[in-house]
Amino acid sequence: MPTLSRAFQTLPPYPLADLPGLKRELRAKGLDIIDLGAGDADLPPPPQAVKALREAAGRAEMSRYAFQLGLPAFREAVAEWMDLRFGVPVDPYTEVLPLIGSKEGLAHIPFAYLDPGDVAIVPDPGYPPYFGGPHLACADLVAIPLRRAKNFLLDLEEIPREKLSRAKLLYLNYPNNPTAATAPDDYLRRVIAFCREHDILCLYDNAYSELAYDGYTPPSILQFEGARDGTIEFFSLSKTYNMTGWRIGFAVGNRSAIGALTRLKTFMDNGLFLGAQAAGVATLRAWREFVPRNVAVFQERRDAAVEALSAAGFEVTVPKATMYLWIPIPGGEGSYDFCRRILLETGVALFPGAAMGKGGDGFFRVALTVSADRLREAAARVGNAVAATSSGGRGRNG
Ligand SMILES: Cc1ncc(COP(=O)(O)O)c(C=O)c1O
């Protein structure tokens, strides 16, 4: 066999890749597992999506290649939603691109922009394709830590000046996974000005735009003046509509970047299943009806988890958005060690902060993907395990 490429060989392990196997082993030993690791909720998708998919599956033309154009009605539904939701008009044919989930778009776009030696700026911690895409394109990564003291906003001043002349891409994600931070409007305006000044394309990942609480409404970066000159934004139906497995996402924004990603994908894939795009139309049109009810469920879970984890002794910040809590690990234990120990001792799977980059070490992430009661149960177990360690004993299931 030939050797694997250096870029491939130096990819880090994907976060949580070994979790399903470990969970199976623990279940076989009789442990009751509560999985708060992946951002993959246990809730149902909108009935409108299911109905539309059923109907589409019965139509022969939906079984043909979608190619990059896809279903015109999906592009039009995206444009309609961007206008309705953000007041951002986009041309459905030149400023919208259907994606097979937003992840592939985020991971593919570096191949259109980066040569070896070019620079991508990424948040640390950050969603793994922000690292994986540029790394596989043999570009240089400049990882900027997201610091609690700076409200987890990527500080543009921390980007080394000598790297800026080679920088072409900046990944940003607010509401943020994993920290749950949100970006104020004036920060987004500064990002736009910065990218324009340095001729950088901003890749704005807005996967959590609809999961927000307490009256907060996350913006689209495209709302702000000048954004369209240097930004494309990635959206996903995965989190908003409990449709992670359906793989429906889209990119919107700068025409030339959308064109580049379209051409790139022509060589990579033949587009998102047309039946899924038909379901996407029905889903986006169910937005007004579905989202508030779904958010109310997440909000109840958030409140239960915040209360129970605070009572268990953790320092919990109440998130304004996302399906995550981002919590410092007491006692300075590394995040991998802590999460492994907690899983083995209590059956609760938490996400180690360091799995999203060095900047995430010292934290763990809780996903609000199970009921409020299960979250309370998980918090009690984890709290007991931590209390037992700090008093020199062992966790109750240890
Ligand atoms: C920040 C962020 N962006 C994008 C995605 C990917 O979503 P999709 O299912 O559309 O690929 C996720 C999923 O976890 C995410 O957390």
Same fold: 6-44+290-388 with 47-288: no
84, pLDDT greater than 90: yes
Contact call for residues 234 and 106 (beta carbons, < 8 A):
yes
**pLDDT the model gives residue 392:** 59
Q: What is the pLDDT of residues 115-142, one digit of tens each?
A: 999 999 999 999 999 999 999 999 999 9
In CATH, what number does 6-44+290-388 get? 3.90.1150.10
Q: What is the pLDDT of residue 174?
A: 98
Distance 22 CA to ligand 1 centre (A): 23
DSSP state of 212: B
Split at pLDDT 50, 70, 90, the class of 20 is: confident
Rounded to a whole number of angstroms, the CA Rg of the chain reads 21
| Separation of CA 40 and ligand 1 centre (Å) | 10
Using CA atoms, how far apart are residues 227 and 252, in angstroms rounded to an integer?
11
Rounded-to-5 percentages of helix, strand, coil across the chain: 45, 15, 40
pLDDT of residue 394: 45
CB of residue 242 inside a 6 A radius of ligand 1: no
Q: What is the pLDDT of residues 283-326, one digit of tens each?
A: 999 999 999 999 999 999 999 999 999 999 999 999 999 999 99
Answer whether residue 264 shows pLDDT above 50.
yes
Determine whether the shortest distance from the Cβ of 135 to ligand 1 is under 6 A.
Answer: no
pLDDT digits (tens, 9 = 90+) for 219-257: 999 999 999 999 999 999 999 999 999 999 999 999 999
- The correct answer on CATH 3.40.640.10 for the domain covering 47-288 is yes
Which residue ranges make up each domain of the chain?
6-44+290-388, 47-288
Is the CB–ligand 1 distance for residue 173 below 6 Å? yes
pLDDT of residue 24: 86
DSSP, collapsed to helix, strand or coil, labels residue 291 as: helix
Query: For ligand 1, atom 6, which residue shows the shortest CA distance?
Result: 103
**207 CB within 6 A, ligand 1:** yes
Nearest CA to ligand 1 atom 2: 207
Per-residue pLDDT tens for 318-356?
999 999 999 999 988 899 989 989 999 999 999 999 999
By C-alpha distance, which of 170, 210, 160 is closest to 190? 170
Which residue out of 239, 243, 277 has the highest number of ligand 1 atoms within 8 Å of its CB and is therefore the one to mutate? 239
Query: Cα–Cα distance between 273 and 288 in angstroms, integer?
Result: 25
Tell me the pTM: 0.95
User: Can you give 262-282 as a three-state secondary structure string?
Assistant: HHHHHCCCCCCCHHHHHHHHH
Q: What is the mean pLDDT of the chain?
A: 95
Work out the percent of the chain whose per-residue pLDDT is above 90: 89
Inform me whether the pLDDT recorded for 16 exceeds 80.
Answer: no
The reply to whether ligand 1 has any atom less than 6 angstroms from the CB of 324 is no
Q: According to the model, what pLDDT value does residue 395 have? A: 38
Which distant-in-sequence residues (6+ apart) come within 8 Å of 60 by Cβ? none
24-69 per-position pLDDT tens digit: 888 888 889 999 999 998 999 999 999 999 999 999 999 999 999 9
Top-confidence range, 6-15, 16-25, 87-96, 382-391: 87-96
pLDDT at residue 396 is higher than 70 = no
Compute the Cα dihedral for 147, 191, 321, 240 and give only its sign.
negative
Our answer on whether the CB atom of 236 is closer than 6 Å to any ligand 1 atom is yes
